[in-house]
Chain A
Amino acid sequence: MLAEALDHLVRGIVDSPEDVKVTQKNNRRGDIIEVRVHPEDLGRVIGRQGRTARALRTVVNALADEQVRVDVVDTDRRR
């Protein structure tokens, strides 16, 4: 549910919703949800001084039973 909720929240605020990919991973320390968007939407999802990313984290954690990490992945930099 958390990944689906985040997917919806992100799709609604980007120009290329079809390029939004949200994946949930589990490790011993807890859940991590990774968000990937079109490189041109990266600024939109992070926001000025990371404000939008912080808002997304706040909402996802309000829906979660336990603390969840939300990472916005910069796919450009990984290449």
Chain B
Amino acid sequence: MKKLVFATIAAAISAPAAAAPETYVIDPRHTFPHFTVNHLGVANIYGRFNRTTGRLILDKAARTGTIEVVLETASIDTGDNERGERKRSRDEHLRSPDFFNAAEFPQMIYKGTATKWNDDTPVEIDGQLTLLGVTRPVRLTVDHFRCLPDPRVGGKREVCGGNATGTLRRSEFGMKFGIPGTSDEIRLLMQFEALRQ
């Protein structure tokens, strides 16, 4: 009987701990925010940011979660970073004040909260994107999300990750150069993985 009481007390104490929010640090090697922008109404150009940091805080039992992602704007990569026969590559132009103004605004920050869940999986994130010093709401739809014991370390830690998409109008952030030749609407496609601390 004593054992049963102790077991019940132990379970009552440990239950809230299990439901507590867990912090996951973004794995920069498996997290690349991509974007597409239409060029001249012809093709969608793809680009990405190569350096990303951040963290997720998840409480799957309570169905709450937040995400904070910091992107280094100078790490933009659209696959055109060699000058060739031109004075400057497209990526160098994208770092200039015409677009990301990387010298003055080296970071772009997204802070969001998971607002819709499907069981214990977040499906929608409402957040604020700060770009060029302007903060505006950006909603991300989580297309895929999964957490599992990380097989690379024998399951000793948990890894969570997925894919999210969203859209924004760059002119709302003051990035007006080249519109409409280079479209105002930007589609975000984010792949992310985060390791539990």
State whether these chains interact: no
Name A residues whose Cβ lies closer than 8 Å to a Cβ of B: none
